[in-house]
Structures are given as structure tokens and as C-alpha cells.
Amino acid sequence: MDTINGNAASASAAPAAPAQQNGHREDPGGFKLKFCTVCASNQNRSMEGHLRLALANYPVISFGTGSLVRLPGPTITQPNVYKFNETSYDSIYRELEAKDPRLYRANGLLNMLGRNRNIKWGPERWQDWQVGMPRVKKETDKGFEGMEGGVADIVITCEERCWDAVIDDLLNRGSPLNRAVHVINIDIKDNHEEASVGGRAMVDLADSLNKVAKEEREKVGAAAFDSGSGAGRASFDERVPEVIGEWQERWPNLPATWTLAWF
């Protein structure tokens, strides 16, 4: 998380989350789209989304697009900086707790890191993700089931600069898998309250997209749809903008941007 500023004004305007028991939702089974959530440091917004989608029984992974993981420090010019892929959430938690437990408990970092270490091992960088490579040694990650093959159908970023970074990276990769991926940006302020609202909004969007995906998959056949080919997914791809438009009406305080890209 880069900052802990902003307010939760949009929370009062957001629709209620689906009924859950202890944070979990009953798994209806059947086909599920695969999701990927992305923010700058893979700490706050993407991890809230990761958790919410996993609790809603969706396959999900998460990443950050920054060069380094940056968390607030004692002053704005003294952030806590860590390397992606090499630093666990638990080690960051223990370091900050040793540095200044009162500060980092008060600003919510310890609570956030405590949540994160129960989701997966540590922050991962989008640009280092080898799309299509099996996700080995990730079996304990929440949302792992269904993500074993290392491919997502929907990427949800949490701010415009992350969306830009993802699109640029996909273009640079040159579409080696020739597989369509919908990249959707939801502008979520980088604070704990707004991340919570954003997480609920992601699940609402996921439910809407998955409903349409099931309908189109039934029409074209499971084999064609699951292949991820342009022909197999064309009817679903055409309906995504309409789904996002309807979702935007329910979440007017979370501006969204969408594009179709390729892995």
C-alpha cells in the first residue's frame, strides 16, 4: 500500500454484500471464471479483493505492479521498502511489529499484514508472472483451486497506473498464448475502508461476469469456451462491456475502465 489517506464516503452508497457465514459463501459448484487482482504493492486493495473472491469460491491470484513493495513509515519520506517475490508477509509483519508496534497497529498495517499472511506467502510482482506456467508450491494460497495452470480470464486492477502497467506489459509480451483476457480497472482509493468497499464490488462484478460466462459456455459448448480461443469466447467477450455498464450503475463511486487484451 502506498498511502493510507482518503475517506470512506463511497461506503454509504455501496450495495450490501451477499449474505455470508463467517466470511465464506456456500459454493454452488459449476463453472467459474478465473480472476487476478492487481494493485501497486500487492498489499491492500489487491489482497482485499483476493480474499473476497476466494471466500466467494472463485479461483484467484494477485500481484503488484510497482518496482518495489512500499508501505508507509514513520514519515512520508521514510517508507518501508521490500522486494517482491523475496519477502513474506509474515517477515514484514514481524519487522514492523518490532520497529514500532503502536504506530503500525494504529495505522492498520499490522492488521492488514496479519490478514495477508493468511492468504498467501508474500507479495508477487505482475511483471515477473510467467503466464501459463503451473503455479507450483502455491497449494496453500487462498483461491488456488482452479488457478493451477497459471492463467486468468479476468484481471482487475485498482488504479489507472496499475491498469496502464498491465496493458503495457501484455503488449510487450507479444501474446504468446493467443488467449483473450479482460482487463478491468476499478478506481479504489488506497486506504483500508475503501479497499473493503472495493473488495465487495469485485465480488459483485465477478458474479455478474460469471453468470454471463455460464450462459455463453452452455451455448458454444464447454470444450470451445474453456479453450480460451477467440472463437470460443467471442459471444462472452461481446457481452462484457454491457455487464460492466450495469455494474457501474450499482457502484457509481468506483469508476471503471475496460479493455480486451491477450496473453
Q: What is the pLDDT of residues 93-126, one digit of tens each?
A: 999 999 999 999 999 999 999 999 999 999 999 9
User: CA 132, CA 130: separation in Å to the nearest integer?
Assistant: 6
Q: Which whole number is the average pLDDT over 37-46?
A: 98
197/225 same-domain check: yes
C-alpha cell at 135: 503455479
Asked if 59 and 83 sit in the same domain, the reply is no
Instruction: Give the residue from 124, 153, 173 where a domain finishes.
Output: 124
pTM assigned to the model:
0.90
pLDDT (mean) for 241-260:
98
Q: What percent of the chain has pLDDT over 70?
A: 91
239 falls within a domain: yes
Angle subtended by helix axes 45-55 and 109-116, to nearest 10: 40
Name the band, by pLDDT with cuts 50, 70 and 90, for residue 175.
very high
Predicted pLDDT of residue 136: 87
Same domain for 105 and 231, yes or no, is no
Cell of 9: 464516503
Are residues 118 and 161 both part of a single domain? no
pLDDT, position 19: 45
Residue 45 placed within a domain? yes
Q: Are residue 51 and residue 151 in the same domain, yes or no? A: yes
Q: pLDDT class for 49, splitting at 50, 70, 90?
A: very high
- Whether 1 is covered by a domain: the verdict is no
Do 31 and 142 share a domain, yes or no?
yes
- Interatomic CA distance for residues 84 and 207, integer angstroms: 30
Whole-number pLDDT of residue 12: 38
Residue with more model confidence, 6 or 50: 50
Q: Is the pLDDT at 226 greater than 50, yes or no?
A: yes
Query: Rounded to whole angstroms, what are the CA distances from 167 to 33, 85, 150, 174, 229?
Result: 20, 21, 18, 11, 19
Looking at the fold, whether 172 and 187 belong to one and the same domain comes out as yes
Instruction: Specify the number of domains making up the chain.
Output: 2
Does 187 lie in the same domain as 139? yes
Q: Clarify whether residues 77 and 153 are in a common domain.
A: no
pLDDT of residue 229: 85
Res. 225 pLDDT band, cuts 50 70 90: very high
56 and 81 belong to one structural domain: no
Final residue of a structural domain among 124, 142, 165: 124
Inside any domain, residue 2: no
Q: Is the pLDDT of residue 11 over 60?
A: no
DSSP for residue 1? -
Residue 253 belongs to some domain of the structure: yes
Indicate the residue among 86, 102, 124 that finishes a domain.
Answer: 124
Q: Looking at residue 1, what is its pLDDT? A: 52
More confident residue, 61 or 21: 61
Neighbours of 103 (CB within 10 A): 14
Domain coverage including residue 57 = 7-66+132-262
